[in-house]
Structure 1
Amino acid sequence: MSHDVFICYDEEDKDCAEAICRIFEENNIKTWIRSRDVSSKDAARNLTEAIRNSKCFVLVYSKNGKNTNYIINETDIAFSKEIPIILFKLDETSIPKDLEFILISKKKIVAYPHSKRQLKTLVKETSDILDRPTDDIKLDSNSVKTIERSNPKRKENNIKKAIGAAALIAAVLILIYLFVIVPTGQNITDSGVFSMDVTHVEVDELAKGNKYTIYGESYNLPSDSDRYFMNLQFFDDKDNVVYEVNSTADEFKSGIIWSGDINKGDIKHIGFKLTDMDNKILSQEDYNLGL
C-alpha cells in the first residue's frame, strides 16, 4: 500500500496511535500503522520497507515506549534514511539516551494540555512536510477524546473543583466585561473585543539553552494596536521568572508572537498577558511546555 506517513508506537499506546491514524486519513494523509498493515509472513522486513517508503515518520511516545527496542530500531531506520521525523509526546517522560541524539533537532509536539490544538499542529506540520499545506483540518471527536484521555494530569482533576473554577471564572469575566470593558471601551473595535492567545510553542534545542517560537491568534485587532502591550514571562520548575519579553501588540505578525534564544534549559511554562495603556489585562494565559 502506498503511504505518506509511518506511525511508530509502543503496543500500550496502540489506541492513541490508531486515533492519530484516523485523523491523518480524515485529512487525506495516507498512513502505515503496524496494527493494521503489517504482514504476518515477514513482519521485520515489512516494517523496514514501510519506513523506507515513508515521506514522514511520526513517533508517538510515552512512558510505555521508554527503552523499547523496536521503537529505537524503527526510529533509527527513519533517521538513517533521512526521513523527516516528528515526535508526538503523550506524557512527560524524558527521551532515553538511545533516542536523544536522533531527536534533538526534530519537531516536537506535546499532546497536552490542549490536545485538540496540538493534533491540528501535528496535521499541519505533517502536511507541510508532504508539501500539501492545509488550513482546513478535520478532527474526529472520538479520536481527540482518545488523545485527551492520555493526558498525565487528567486523573488529578476533580469534577467539583472544575465546575467551581468554571463558575468563578465566568463570574469574574462577567464583572470585568460589565465594569471594565464596557465603561472604558478601550479594547473594543468595530468587530468586537480585542484579545490574543497563544496557540502553540515550538522549542528547538541549542548547544546552550533553547530557541522558542511562540505562535498566537489575535481577535478584532484594532488599527492602533501599538497602544496595546504584550508581556511574556518564562518560568522554571520552581516558578521563578528566568526571562521576560515586553513588546507592543503591533509586533504580532504572521502568527508569530515572539521568537528568540534563551540560555536556560529548564523552562516549564510561559505566562502571557495582553494589556492596554492603563495596564488593564485584556487577555491572559499560562502555557505549559510539558518538556
Structure 2
Amino acid sequence: MNNDVYICYDERDKEVSEAIYNIFEENNIDAWIKSKDMSSKDSVDKIINVIEDSKCFVLIYSKNSMDTNYIVTETDIAFSRNIPILVFNIDGSKIGRNLEFILETQTILYSFPNPKRQLETLVKNASNIAGKPLDDVKIGSRYLKVFGKINPNKKEDTFKKFIKIAIPIVVVLILVYFFVIIPTGQHTTEDGVFAMNITDVDVSDSGNNYKYTVHGQSYNSPADSVNYIMNIKFLDKNDKLLFEINSTADEFKSGVIGSCELDNNNVDHVDFKLTDLNGKVFSQDKYIIEKEK
C-alpha cells in the first residue's frame, strides 16, 4: 500500500508525532506511523518497504532524535531513494552531525513561534509533494495544546532584559536610530540593522522534479538569529502559492536562504520576508525567475 507520508520520530516524541499523524489524516493525507500501523509481529523489513512506498518522508526532529541510530537509518533510506524529506523541528535543536549531510539541502520547518501556522505549512508542503494540494488546512485545538508544552522560545521578563543592557550599548543604539534607521526607514535589532535579500534563484532539472535553490545575502546578522523567521513563498504567474518555507534565520548557510523540489517548472517568482518572532518585518524581497524562451 502506498502512503502519502511516512512519519519518522523518536519514541520520546510519540505524543507530538501522533498529533501530527492525526492532523495529516484529518486533512485526507494518508500517513504511516509505527505506533499505529506496525505490530510486534511485523519485521524490520516492513519499515524499509513502507518508506520506499511513501511519497514524502517527515522527520519529527528534537534533542531526543539527535543522532539516534534508527532515526539516522530511516532518514538515510529515504534520502538514498530520492524521497522528498520534510524536517519538523519541535524544540530548536541543531541538526546532529550524523544527519547534517543528509538534511543540508532539505526543507526544515519549526513548530514555533506559531504552531498553527507552522503546522499548516508542513501539511501544505506534504500535500503538494503527495500530489494532493490543499488551500485550507484543518487543525484541531486539541493538537495545538501538545505544542504549547515544548515551545523553546520563552521570553525573558522585559524588565530583566532592560537591566542587562549597559549604558554604552543604549547610547550606540540611540545613535544608530537617529543616524541610520530614521534616514533609511529600516528596522533594527539590538546588533544593528538586520536585513536579508535574494540574490539569485537557481532552477535545476533532476529528472521528474525541479529543484529551486534560493540564494541570498544578509547584513548585520545578530548572534541570536534563531529568533528571526525567514518566510519564502514560491508562486506561479497568477500568484498561486506552490510551496512555502518558514525557517529560522540561523538556517542561512553558504549563501542559501532555502530550497524546495517540485514536480513542475511553474514557479514564476519568489517572495521573501524576514521577521522577528512577533511578526515585525525587517526586510522583504521579490525575485522574478527569468526563463529561457
**Shorter-chain-normalised TM-score: which range?**
0.5 to 0.7
The residue that corresponds to 1:29 in the other structure is 29
Change (3 A) 1:287 1:31: same
Give yes or no for contact 1:112–1:148 (8 Å, CA) kept in 2.
no
Structure 1: distance between partners of 2:118 and 2:55: 21
Does residue 227 of structure 2 align to residue 269 of structure 1? yes
Q: Are 2:66 and 1:110 equivalent residues in the alignment?
A: no
Pick closer, same or farther for the CA change 1:145–1:271 going to 2, 3 Å.
Answer: closer
- Offset, 1:286: 3.7
CA distance in structure 2 between the partners assigned to 1:129 and 1:285 by the alignment: 28
Match of 1:145 in 2: 145
- Which amino acid is 2:127 matched to? S
CA deviation string 1:221-255 (max 9, x = no partner): xxxxxxxx98465x5xxx41363369xxxxxxxxx
% identical equivalent positions: 43
- SS of the residue corresponding to residue 98 of structure 1 reads helix
After TM superposition, the structure 1 = structure 2 runs for residues 89-168 of structure 1, keeping only pairs within 5 Å, are 89-153=89-153
User: Once the two structures are superposed, what CA deviation does each residue of 1:90-140 show, in whole Å capped at 9, x if it has no partner?
Assistant: 112111111000101111111011101100010111111112221111001
Aligned-residue offset at 1:285: 6.5
Deviation at 1:20, TM superposition (A): 0.2
Q: Is the 8 A contact 2:7 2:58 kept in 1?
A: yes
Distance in 1 separating the partners of 2:38 and 2:222: 40
1:65, 1:71 within 8 Å by CA — same for their partners in 2?
yes
Change (3 A) 1:284 1:26: same
Residues 10-30 of structure 1 show CA distances to partners (whole Å, capped at 9, x for unaligned) of 000000000000000111000
Please list, as runs of the form range in 1=range in 2, the aligned pairs for 1:1-291 lying within 5 A after superposition: 1-153=1-153, 231=186, 233=188, 239-241=190-192, 243-244=194-195, 260-262=216-218, 267-270=225-228, 286=278
Q: Deviations over 1:52-73 (max 9, x none)?
A: 1100000001111122100000
1:34-66 deviation digits (Å, cap 9, x = unpaired): 001113223311111111110000000111112
Output the TM-score relative to the length of structure 2: 0.58
Q: State the AA in 1 paired with 2:82.
A: E
Q: CA RMSD in A?
A: 3.2
Contact 1:19 1:147 in 2 (8 A): no
User: Contact 1:56 / 1:85 at 8 angstroms: preserved in 2?
Assistant: yes
User: Where in structure 1 are there 5+ consecutive unaligned residues?
Assistant: 162-228, 247-257, 273-282
1:43 partner letter: S
Q: Where do 4+ consecutive residues of structure 1 move more than 4 Å?
A: 229-233, 263-266
TM-score for the superposition, normalised by structure 1: 0.59
Contact 2:86/2:108 (8 A) holds in 1: yes
The letter for the 2-side match of 1:261 is: Q
Partners of 2:279 and 2:141 in 1: CA distance = 23
Inter-CA distance 243–127: structure 2 relative to 1 (3 Å threshold):
same
